[in-house]
Amino acid sequence: MADSLTLSGAKDVKKHTGSEMNPTLTKRGSAIFSLKQWWTGGKSTTYVKCAVLTVKLSNYICKLAIPVSDESSIRIDHDGNFNFQFFNVRGIKRAALYDRDFNIIEHYVMPSESGGQVMTVTPLGAEKKPTLTPAKPEVKKVSEPPKKRKGPSRLKIDFP
């Protein structure tokens, strides 16, 4: 199934189709999460304010974090297999996909930063992206029918 929505600011969701992506609130009920900047390394820690969307598919849950401001907006399309496309990006330079425990899976660099297309970055040691594989059908072995004898028949038929 596919899902699409437009996020304006931190919590204004418009044109939402599907039910896989939903805005997430913090434990205190706020729409803005303070997450560690995933694109910088080093000794100091810097936090960024993000809107977080919970993406649910089958038994898998991931979180899509988008750094937002009052002027930002973005359209997000989800293909139903944890792959995302971003359109009409305004005021947003990056986004990140986390697992349910906020361990990073991959992050995205928007065209304003990458200088072209959306760039997907998988950090070293990142969690694996869940994949939905169709259930394999069970193959049952059928016993073979009894083999026919190839020897002469023991049945005698006399015709008059």
Q: Using one digit for the tens of pLDDT, what is the confidence trace for 48-104?
A: 898 888 888 888 888 999 998 888 899 989 888 888 888 988 899 999 999 888 888
Residue 146 falls within a domain, yes or no?
A: no
pLDDT attached to residue 24: 80
User: What is the C-alpha separation between 38 and 29, in angstroms, rounded?
Assistant: 23
39 within domain boundaries: yes
C-alpha pair distances (Å), 153 with each of 148, 156, 157, 159? 11, 8, 11, 16
Residue 11 included in any domain: yes
What's the total number of domains in the chain? 1
Strands 84-90 and 47-57: unpaired
In a domain, 14, yes or no: yes
State the pTM of this model: 0.74
Q: Which alpha helices (DSSP H) does the chain contain, by range?
A: 111-114
1: pLDDT strictly greater than 60: no
**Is 152 part of any domain?**
no
Going from the C-alpha of 154 to that of each of 73, 148, 151, 159, the distances in angstroms are: 88, 14, 9, 16
Give domain status of residue 137, yes or no: no
Distance separating alpha carbons of residues 131 and 83, to the nearest angstrom? 10
Burial of 160 (0-12, 13-18, 19+ CB in 10 A): exposed
Could you report the per-residue pLDDT of 91-140, keeping only the tens digit for each? 999 999 998 888 889 989 988 888 888 888 888 888 888 776 655 666 66
The answer on pLDDT for 37 being more than 80 is yes
Q: Is the residue at 55 inside a domain?
A: yes
Residue 12 domain flag: yes
Give residue 41's domain range.
3-121
